[in-house]
Amino acid sequence: MALTRGLKHANRYRKIASTLARHGFGYILQEVGLFHVLSLPKRLSADSGEVNMHSIGKRIRLVIEELGPTFIKLGQLISTRKDIFPPSVIEELEKLQDNVPPFPFEKGKQIIENDLGASLDDLFSSFSKEPLAAASIGQVHKATLHNGKNVAVKISRPHIKEIIEKDIDILRDLAKLLTQRFQWARYYRLQDVIEEYVDAIRDEVDYYVEARNTEKMKNNMAVFSEIDIPNVLDDYSSRRVLTMSFAKGVKLSELNDATHHVDKKAVARTLTDAFLHQVLVDGFFHSDPHPGNIIFTGEKTAAFIDFGQIGRLNKAMRQQFINYVIAMTKKHPDLVADAIYDMADIPGDIDDDHFAEDVEYLLQKYYDRPFHEIKIGEAINDIFATAHRYEIQIYKEYTLLAKAIITLESVVERLDPNLSIVKVAEPYGHMLAKERLNPKTNIYHWLKEGRRQKDYLLDIPKELRDTLEKISKDRVGIEMNIPKINIFLNKLDRISNRLSFSIILLAFSIIMVGLIIGSTFGDSSSPLVQLPVIEISFIATFIMFLWLLYAIFKSGRF
């Protein structure tokens, strides 16, 4: 079984398992054997009438909310994977709120002073005890330096890293168990989703990573005078504390035409242009540009904040993505299918013609619509969802980009409904096309590929010689992979142990009956009867019986 750290995290396992059971997922725990291993009461496996009234999506959301920060972040990640998970689940998980009660100011103060090596009074002339915002990973306070500069101080929740690492261990174990046992877990690529989540959450909980991301983004966005990125104050930052310049302005939810003078159309164009520059020029983009992470700082200026989640695309990926967008705008299914093949792992038995037909059927809903009305993010997700049905595994960089585009489109639509992201992207597409046709670029790629293939070509004679030598010496091995063999062997162990238990119980009963009959009807003058053989035999047999029972139950396979 995959519970490699079961003893270490037993209490947390029980909490997660009992929460799942109470919300109607007890049958899953029974199927993978967790009820027995964790000694959970059988009553938890029965679904209550109230639980059955809720949809699966709602029950999943309730479980996630009850289990805390790590699972809330996982739920938020899953809610962005519209290409994989069903709409009913996505709709519920989109309701997950990252707003949680703030932790006490004194604990935050202790973290700051321990990490920065000075008292709070020495570091800041003023420090707001009430946070501006509180989330599952940390919270933000407004403060003022001794030079009079206002700053935002983000403080990590106490012990959040340890909590997250413990939950990561458990999530990996559960994902492996479920993938081995359930076809739906394999279909939704549960283990891949967990690993994608692990990378994201570990980056987000380490403020050094966010500080470096912020600095790089500030350098990249220097070409946009209308875009502000906070300055990181390294002397006031650590892995658990991040201090940045304070972005003064209003968020989209607070925007009021009567009191705030913002040129919405100009800002919408600037935000879109800046984001496309991040994606197609820098290959380093804000992967969560939701309204809370954008602040309007002036009539035509805005600031991006919170760079805990960042997406990355290398030059080849940027070219592949723009090819995909061009193919979609041309509404050519074969070109779209070819572009998808460049952006994913493709199963060997895929039916190319059927996939292209499904893509064409999907594109038909865009054929008669004006160009500016097409939401490119939704169109991308539609195609990705179709690809998933063919077990095509889109690289996570593209799914992250699709989620970011959808998020940005929702912001832009509220500012300027007539602005088309595809239209703004056209100059970048022309730029990448020219770059691809540039002879210098092609020569560089050929030389790079030649250097990479050189080592493979030089290794072929040696590999061939070693293979022939192994064949001649009958040393060629065969590796077999039998799906679900661990589950089969585990159940076989349980059956054999239960059979052994029954035989032992029967033998013990026969011995006891024989001893009773012997003591009742046997010859009283016999030396065997005179000796305490019955008592000795009973004690010896009973001890052996207990020992065997202990060994069977301790194995965890009864």
User: 275 with 360, same domain?
Assistant: yes
User: 287 with 420, same domain?
Assistant: yes
Angstrom distance (rounded) from CA 246 to CA 43: 53
Helices (H), 292-367: 315-330, 333-342, 352-367
Q: Let me know if residue 323 belongs to a domain.
A: yes
Residue range(s) defining the domain that contains residue 336 = 250-437
510 half-sphere exposure, CB direction, 13 A CA radius: 6
pLDDT digits (tens, 9 = 90+) for 456-489: 666 667 667 777 776 666 655 555 555 555 555 5
* Average of per-residue pLDDT across 303-321: 90
Helices (H), 4-156: 10-20, 26-32, 34-37, 49-53, 56-67, 69-78, 87-93, 105-116, 120-123
User: 496 with 375, same domain?
Assistant: no
3-state class (DSSP) for residue 426: helix
pLDDT > 90: percent of the chain: 24
119 half-sphere exposure, CB direction, 13 A CA radius: 4
Q: Let me know if residue 30 belongs to a domain.
A: yes
The model's confidence at residue 443, banded by pLDDT at 50, 70 and 90, is low
pLDDT digits (tens, 9 = 90+) for 393-422: 888 888 889 888 988 988 898 899 888 887
* pLDDT exceeds cutoff 50 at 2: no
- Please give the tally of structural domains in the chain: 3
Mean pLDDT computed over every residue of the chain: 80
Residue 91: what pLDDT?
84
Torsion angle (degrees, nearest 10) of CA 220, 225, 226, 229:
40
3-state class (DSSP) for residue 134: strand
| Poorest-pLDDT segment among 82-86, 408-412, 438-442, 522-526 | 522-526
User: 184 with 43, same domain?
Assistant: yes
pLDDT digits (tens, 9 = 90+) for 235-278: 999 999 999 999 998 888 777 766 678 899 999 999 999 999 99
pLDDT digits (tens, 9 = 90+) for 172-206: 888 888 888 888 888 888 888 888 888 888 888 99
Q: Let me know if residue 522 belongs to a domain.
A: yes
pLDDT digits (tens, 9 = 90+) for 212-244: 999 999 999 999 999 999 999 999 999 999 999
Angstrom distance (rounded) from CA 547 to CA 96: 50
201 secondary structure, DSSP code: H
Token pair in block for residue 109: 């103060």
Q: Let me know if residue 5 belongs to a domain.
A: no
User: 323 with 399, same domain?
Assistant: yes
Determine contact, residues 64/71, Cβ cutoff 8 Å. yes
The model's confidence at residue 279, banded by pLDDT at 50, 70 and 90, is very high
Q: How far is CA 501 from the centre of its chain?
A: 43
Query: 438 phi and psi, to 5 degrees?
Result: -65, 125
User: 296 with 379, same domain?
Assistant: yes
The terminus-to-terminus CA distance of the chain in angstroms comes to 14
- Residues contacting 494, CB < 8 A, separation 6+: 557, 558
User: 500 with 420, same domain?
Assistant: no
* Of 318, 556, 552, the residue nearest 441 (C-alpha): 318
The model's confidence at residue 537, banded by pLDDT at 50, 70 and 90, is low
- Residues contacting 345, CB < 8 A, separation 6+: 392, 393, 395
Predicted model pTM: 0.72
User: 183 with 304, same domain?
Assistant: no
